[in-house]
């Protein structure tokens, strides 16, 4: 089975699986197959968990825009921009994270030393840890991805806001990283 030479896998967190990006769907039906997104078309991945069976996964999107990243949970693979959390031990437990129905992921901001990852789109930002969603906010900015920085446990976001506090200049928001509460 031909495999692409370059796998678009970012590895900010440790992982307990191997993943290959396949050129074509295997002819054999020996491996279980799972579709994450809009059906059997899209990038094809062969995934082997350290602790469970191999399987084939197709994810929504185009090969040209596919990005993969590790997750704070070492058994989870995140497929972007389609926003699928693929559980490599239990593929049936895979899902799209909160806030991404109808949205694609615009950015990720992994923070390995805190075991969290921020993911977002133009109007929302969400913080996930090993156990799942820690917090999500859709009231901070609109129609623009923020510039993100971190100072200790303070998350600093800079972006334009429409509506309640609109303006020409970007608005600076500071939040507690682990709770999402404004500082």
Whole-number Å distance between alpha carbons of 127 and 176: 11
pTM of the model: 0.88
CA dihedral 110→67→59→79, nearest 10 degrees, is 0
Q: What total number of domains does the chain contain?
A: 2
- Expressed as residue numbers, the domain containing 80 is 1-96
Q: Please report, for the domain that includes residue 133, its CATH number.
A: 2.40.10
Q: Are residues 36 and 24 in the same domain?
A: yes
- If asked whether residues 52 and 108 sit together in one domain, one would say no
Block means of pLDDT (10 residues each) for the chain, length 183 residues? Answer: 73 95 86 84 90 91 89 95 93 89 87 96 91 92 88 93 66 95 94
Q: pLDDT at position 149, please? A: 96
Question: Which residue, of 70, 96, 122, is where some domain finishes?
Answer: 96
pLDDT in the model for residue 170: 83
Of the residues 59, 78, 96, the one at which a domain ends = 96
End-to-end C-alpha distance for the chain, whole angstroms: 52
Instruction: Check whether residue 45 and residue 129 sit in a common domain.
Output: no
The pLDDT of residue 155 is 97
Q: What is the CA radius of gyration of the chain?
A: 18
Task: Say what the pLDDT of residue 112 is.
Answer: 97
């Amino acid at each position: 089975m031909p495999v692409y030479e370059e796998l678009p896998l970012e590895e900010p967190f440790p992982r307990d699986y191997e993943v290959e990006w396949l050129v074509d769907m295997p002819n054999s039906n020996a491996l279980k197959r799972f579709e994450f997104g809009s059906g059997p078309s899209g990038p094809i991945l062969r995934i082997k968990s350290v602790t469970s069976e191999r399987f084939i996964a197709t994810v929504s999107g185009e090969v040209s825009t596919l990005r993969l990243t590790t997750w704070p949970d070492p058994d989870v693979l995140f497929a972007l921009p389609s926003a699928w959390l693929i559980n490599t031990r239990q593929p049936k437990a895979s899902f799209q994270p909160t806030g991404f129905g109808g949205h694609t992921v615009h950015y990720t901001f992994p923070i390995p030393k805190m075991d969290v990852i921020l993911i977002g789109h133009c109007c929302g930002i969400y913080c996930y840890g090993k156990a799942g969603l820690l917090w999500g906010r859709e009231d901070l900015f609109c129609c623009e991805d923020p510039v993100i920085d971190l100072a200790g446990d303070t998350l600093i976001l800079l972006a334009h806001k429409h509506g309640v506090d609109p303006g020409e200049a970007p608005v600076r928001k500071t939040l507690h990283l682990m709770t999402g509460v404004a500082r």
